[in-house]
Structure 1
Amino acid sequence: MNEFRRRSLLGAGLGLGALAATGTSHRAEAAETRMAVQWFGANDRAKRTFAVIDLFEKRNPGVKINGEYGNSTDYWQKINTQIAGRNGPDVFQTEPNSIADYARRGALLALDPLLGKAIDTSGFSPEMLDLCRIDGKVYGLGLGLNSFGMLYDSEVFTKVGMAPPDEKTSWDDYAKLSVELTKANKRDGWFGSCDGSRYSHALNVWLRQRGKDLFNNDGKLDFTADEAGEWFSYWDKIRKAGGCVPADVASQDQSSIQTMPLVLNKAGLALMYSNQLVGTQDVVPFKLGLTVYPNGGPGAKPGLFYRPALIWNMYVRGRNQEMAAKFVNFFLNDPEAVKILGVERGVPMGQKMRDLVMPDLNELERKTVDYINFIADKVGPYPPPQPVNSNQFTNIILRAVADEVAFGRISPSEGGRKLINDTNAVL
């Protein structure tokens, strides 16, 4: 059994009860310079991350890192349990929709005293540091730059003789395209599109094109029940016309690469993130294409924005913060580590590291960089930090609302009201 498999099984098999029960051994390990690092993502990300961990251990004799990963649903449950028990990992991964929540709950270490010292941020512009600044302090460092991106099965479009979506595709065009693609492919159990009603990130783009956002500067929802109802109605019409996967297929989607209808070969279009092109191509047999989300039509505002694809954070009660800072610095700035990571977590933030990886990128990885450059004139301002408990919004829209609408248990308008009420109840 190789090291990657051994660590993968450790991450998947270590239950929450076991974590709570091993507090004594963790304290003993801390004296031996042991450190815990956790993240979520697909196998390609795990392979790259474990390779960097191995390199870090080689460069730092006597240091042992317990690396663990899992799908996003299990990951957040585990992190929340650990933090509630004051036993969080030394370094762990968040993303733009969750960092503010953890920072404001006091779970993250403010990194400002470490910046420019233990952690070299000379390659970060002030604007990039601001992407992880919450209430005046920097609580994390972006591991790469990305944005929202539509992935699609390019081979199926060639097969049926249809043009794939591009930057000129509107939401109305997307609806028609999804239905036409289902009909043209003529395959049982296969549909043109995923069910985008379930994705908070897709709703975010749609709202921003209308001058709104998920949350405003006061930490309140920035859209109305009627607007949410219109969103669910849009997808309900596509579903009933056969353009997107039905409820029983959509409900199996955990918003992870492995469970996406596109990856399961049950849909041709997916509303994802640009950096996921690499990890998704790694697990599908067909060639993928990448383009922007549907546009909002004439006069619409930009729906896209640059974002830190993923973020390293340090636990405020970490057992070895000095070594944790050294690891984060190594991950971001060591040339060999940066080359191993490539663009799977997004395009490197600093130009020096971006230039370093470019010569080694394959055609697919270069598409990710090209996409980030392509949307430069299509992005809007970065949204306000999200409020405490806002990370529950993703599960609310998935399970409590979108699935209920898809199964016909509530109407789209009822779904809009439920999304507002259920979210307000936890904020």
Structure 2
Amino acid sequence: MRSPSRTLSRRRRSGPAALALLGVTVLAACGQGMPDHTRDELAGQGEIGGEIRLSWWGSGSRNEKTNAVADIFEEDHPGVEVSRETADFGNYFKRLNVQGAGRNMPCVTQLQARTLGDFTARNALLPLDPMIESGAIDVSDIPEAVLDTGRGEDGKLYMLPTGAAYDALMVNETLAQEAGAALPEPGYDWDDYIDFLRDAAEGLPDGIPATSLRGGLPNFFIAYVQGLGEEMFAGNELGFDRELLIEYWEMWEEIRAEGLANSPTANAEEPPSPEASYVASGDVLSDNRPGNALTPIQGTLDGQGQDQRMTSLPLPSGPAGSGNVLIASGLSIPRNCDNLPTAAAFIDFWANDPRSGDTYASDNGAVTNTALLQRQLDDPELPELKKRELALYQRIVADDPPNVVYPPGYLAVFESAFTRAYQDVAFGDQTVPEAVDTFFAEANDGLAR
């Protein structure tokens, strides 16, 4: 197998640097007119009162927690009414697309870094920088690397990150110990990762592969690119070259050829939810999963009566350092909002008030405010797995993670094309170079629209 570290070390840093809203683009501005904001309003200055609309995605306990935070804000500001709108992730962005087209987005709109570009590209959001400069929104306890995840391509802050998710290498620590495979050391690279898979494969029971086949997982590839110091995107085009992706997919094909991963068929049949995944049932040693999946994955193992312990590690690094990127969610203010002071006050409350942090409890990624995060970590009632999840987030932030500015169409165009192209390789429908050419053509064409 070609040595990933030798391949990575000869790469050079490239030039400059989200979502096609699940296949639907924000339409050209139409509908109601935009309000005329004064300079003070744009800075979040003015009377806090009246009504604002708040929207977010989620269900169950997340809805309860969000409503509780909004209730506290209303209690602190008599006369303020926070109208609430929620839906599951997919339907949320379909509705938000329609609202954006009609210039009717809620005054406080939850977005994700991967969806931000679809709205900044159409000038639908206000930059929050004037509100930060005026003190209406305090960001002093949010690390710069985290804050950057809310910036647009022009460098302005259009989303205040309030929750930061990350991908992690989930490993069944018990199976690894039984197989005689030591876990990768901090700062491990792709060579070390593959060595770990090989060591584990020698001692694992028959039928349990060392990893799920993840050559088509975009987040894993992003970690690879960022560890090289390369750019994912250059405006609305791919920022890396074909040779890089060829090397990456050839690496995964060699992993598969050595029998270190499960089959393409098994991989395609895997249920999507973390708690139903193969790693959660003990049928595979390791997998790339969201960091907050540690608790539900362990819960599945426990529910099956398996005496096995899961752990989570950062993704492999490269010559340029950490490959882990943060996938932040946060709050934005659209240009159509007619109550900027109250919207700014709500975002500031959400980001900084201890009652907000305690109530929401890092439900949608780790809380980005370092003081509120430490407050949660110091809570003696915090479950051990949740503490490990938040501690790993702290560790990733301490490594100054790279940032990706996602272009419009990222989810619908890039992710779907990437996964589909690698499936063609894994099932033998295309060679790696052919699939890379197909992917580049489809991605660059779709992102440019």
State the TM-score bracket (shorter-chain normalisation). 0.7 to 0.9
- Whether the 8 Å contact between 1:146 and 1:307 is mirrored in structure 2 is yes
Aligned pair count reads: 391
Alpha-carbon distance in structure 2 between the residues aligned to 1:351 and 1:118: 19
- Whether the 8 Å contact between 1:198 and 1:403 is mirrored in structure 2 is yes
Structure 1 residues 240 and 308: alpha-carbon distance in aligned structure 2, compared to 1, 3 A threshold: closer
The corresponding residue for 1:370 is 391
How far apart are residue 203 of structure 1 and its match? 0.9
Deviation sequence 1:2-57 (CA, Å, 0-9, x none): xxxxxxxxxxxxxx9xxxxxx9xxxxxxxx947342225x8665564455345456
Unaligned runs of 5+ in 1: 1-15, 17-22, 24-31
Is 1:195 aligned to 2:213, yes or no? yes
- Whether the 8 Å contact between 2:213 and 2:261 is mirrored in structure 1 is yes
Pairing of 1:59-78 with structure 2 (within 5 A):
63=81, 65-71=83-89, 76-77=93-94
- Whether the 8 Å contact between 1:108 and 1:139 is mirrored in structure 2 is yes
Is 1:141 aligned to 2:160, yes or no? yes
- Whether the 8 Å contact between 2:274 and 2:289 is mirrored in structure 1 is no
How far apart are residue 158 of structure 1 and its match? 3.5
TM-score normalised by length of structure 1: 0.75
- Whether the 8 Å contact between 2:352 and 2:369 is mirrored in structure 1 is no
- Whether the 8 Å contact between 2:275 and 2:293 is mirrored in structure 1 is no
TM-score normalised by length of structure 2: 0.72
Match of 1:52 among 48, 54, 69: 69
- SS of alignment partner, residue 38 of structure 1: strand
Is 1:317 aligned to 2:336, yes or no? yes
Alpha-carbon distance in structure 1 between the residues aligned to 2:140 and 2:241: 42
Pairing of 1:72-87 with structure 2 (within 5 A):
76-77=93-94, 79-84=96-101, 86-87=103-104
CA RMSD in angstroms comes to 3.8
- Whether the 8 Å contact between 1:228 and 1:415 is mirrored in structure 2 is no
Larger CA Rg, structure 1 vs 2:
2
Structure 1 residues 53 and 266: alpha-carbon distance in aligned structure 2, compared to 1, 3 A threshold: farther
Deviation sequence 1:326-358 (CA, Å, 0-9, x none): 432332122122023334444443333233323
Bigger CA drift: 62-71 or 408-417?
62-71
How far apart are residue 301 of structure 1 and its match? 1.6
- Whether the 8 Å contact between 2:145 and 2:402 is mirrored in structure 1 is no
- Whether the 8 Å contact between 1:33 and 1:63 is mirrored in structure 2 is yes
Is 1:103 aligned to 2:123, yes or no? no
Alpha-carbon distance in structure 2 between the residues aligned to 1:352 and 1:231: 39
Bigger CA drift: 100-109 or 197-206?
100-109
Match of 2:355 among 310, 329, 336: 336
- SS of alignment partner, residue 191 of structure 1: coil
Amino acid at match of 1:339: D
- SS of alignment partner, residue 286 of structure 2: strand
Amino acid at match of 1:367: R
The corresponding residue for 2:418 is 397
How far apart are residue 308 of structure 1 and its match? 5.9
Structure 1 residues 253 and 302: alpha-carbon distance in aligned structure 2, compared to 1, 3 A threshold: farther
Alpha-carbon distance in structure 1 between the residues aligned to 2:222 and 2:267: 19
- Whether the 8 Å contact between 1:37 and 1:67 is mirrored in structure 2 is yes
Is 1:411 aligned to 2:431, yes or no? yes
Amino acid at match of 2:197: S
The corresponding residue for 1:250 is 267
How far apart are residue 396 of structure 1 and its match? 1.8
The corresponding residue for 1:27 is none
Alpha-carbon distance in structure 2 between the residues aligned to 1:117 and 1:131: 20
- Whether the 8 Å contact between 1:147 and 1:307 is mirrored in structure 2 is yes
The corresponding residue for 1:123 is 141
The corresponding residue for 1:174 is 193
Amino acid at match of 1:198: G
Deviation sequence 1:283-332 (CA, Å, 0-9, x none): 65353212122244xxx221435646322223443576555444323321
